[in-house]
Amino acid sequence: MSATFLADLFVPLLAVSMDVVMPLAIFGSVAAGSWLLLDYMSTGKTRTDERLDEIRDPSLRRRNEQAAASKKQNAMASMLAKASVASRPLQPKNEYEANKLKARLSAAGFRGETTPSVFLGAKFIGLIVGFLASGGTMLFLKGISQQTLLWTLSGTGLMFYLPDIIVWWIARKRKEQIFLGLPDALDLMVVCVEAGLGLDQAMRKVSEELRESWPIICEEIALCNFQLQMGRTRGEVLHELGTRTGVDDLRSLAAILIQADKFGSGIAQALRVQSDSMRTRRKQLAEEKAAKTAVKLIFPLVLFIFPGIFVVLVGPAAIQIVNQMFPAMSGR
């Protein structure tokens, strides 16, 4: 058997075997690499083994909780540090801008010390992400053009102002909830004051009783109670209550209570008058929305309802007219 015959026999077999072996080799390499990676990641104990160890040694659970809390605290500190570094280009230039930013975030319920840094860091990250995402997408789809630049700027601006929109929306919802729940809180406060309780005890009672129905206003009143317990004066606490919420009615209520406390007049009567005025205003707003309903219904009526009614009412008559005027088209 010659060498030429052996070469003619084994070269096609080798080519076929390479076509089959190459995909299998790639699949095996990927599977082995995935297995090794999963095995490396799962070297720790399972949750079941950890629970059994905690049952055997009760002190182990406390140590694990302390380690988890420390790890979470370190991660939070690292995140806050990164947010502070990222927000450095957007930091307020003076104290007025800083107070204005804190007031906006406070109206939305964000009152932590590091909240401004986190907010500005989110805006900076949104700027970078928006530029990369919109710019990369439009560059891939349309190439370098004026339209690409326009869409990139639009996407970047949207992502940059997205935290502002979210904060504005949350603050708007909080103000609405405070405005709707304030008359009920004032009525309960009037009952408590007329029953012989002081203003501080009445505020504490309101924060306890209305927690399920109006949690936001109860949270604000509970914060006032905490500040009073810490030794702050009632006038400062009430003034800050009206300022940090951003609700005009609550600000006017705080001013009335400060005046009543300063001049020694009856608090119950002032609360009753304020409650009646707020209910009247809420009723007027409801009547205003009801009066606007007819105008707002014009657009859906014209765009969606009238075309369907027109087709149902005029369609059969139009078909009859066409059949009578154009019998050839109707097949007669």
The residue type found at 305 is: I
Residue 294 structure tokens: 């007819």
Q: How big is the chain by its Cα radius of gyration, in Å?
A: 35
Chain-wide mean pLDDT for the chain? 76
C-beta separation of 189 from 271 below 8 A: yes
Contact 107, 168 (CB under 8 A): no
Mean pLDDT confidence for 253-261: 80
Taking a C-beta distance cutoff of 8 angstroms, is the pair 203, 189 a contact?
Answer: yes
Q: Where are the alpha helices (DSSP H) in 195-302?
A: 199-209, 215-229, 234-245, 248-263, 267-296, 298-300
* pTM (global) more than 0.75: no
pLDDT above 80 for 143: no
CB 242 within 8 A of CB 213: no
Q: Which of 37, 64, 41, 38 is nearest to 52 (CA)?
A: 64
Long-range contacts of 148-157 (CB under 8 A, 24+ apart): 155/130, 155/131, 156/127, 156/130, 156/131, 157/130
Q: Read off the tokens for 30.
A: 């990927």
Q: How far apart are the C-alpha atoms of 255 and 247, rounded to whole Å?
A: 12
- Report the distance separating Cα 152 and Cα 148, nearest Å: 6
Contact 184, 213 (CB under 8 A): yes
What pLDDT score does 289 carry? 86
Domain residue spans of the chain: 87-168, 173-294, 297-330
Q: What is the pLDDT of residue 169?
A: 92
CB-CB contact of 200 with 228 (8 Å): yes
What is the predicted pLDDT for the residue at 81? 58
The count of residues in the chain is 332
Taking only the tens place, the pLDDT of each residue in 164-210 is 899 899 988 888 888 888 888 888 888 888 888 877 788 888 888 88
Is the pLDDT assigned to residue 27 strictly greater than 50? yes
**Confidence (pLDDT) at 9:** 47
CATH architecture entry for 173-294: Up-down Bundle (1.20)
Q: What is the pLDDT of residues 67-119, one digit of tens each?
A: 666 666 655 555 555 555 656 666 777 788 888 888 888 888 888 777 887 88
pLDDT at 1: 47
pLDDT at 6: 46
Record the tokens describing residue 255, joined without a space: 């001013």
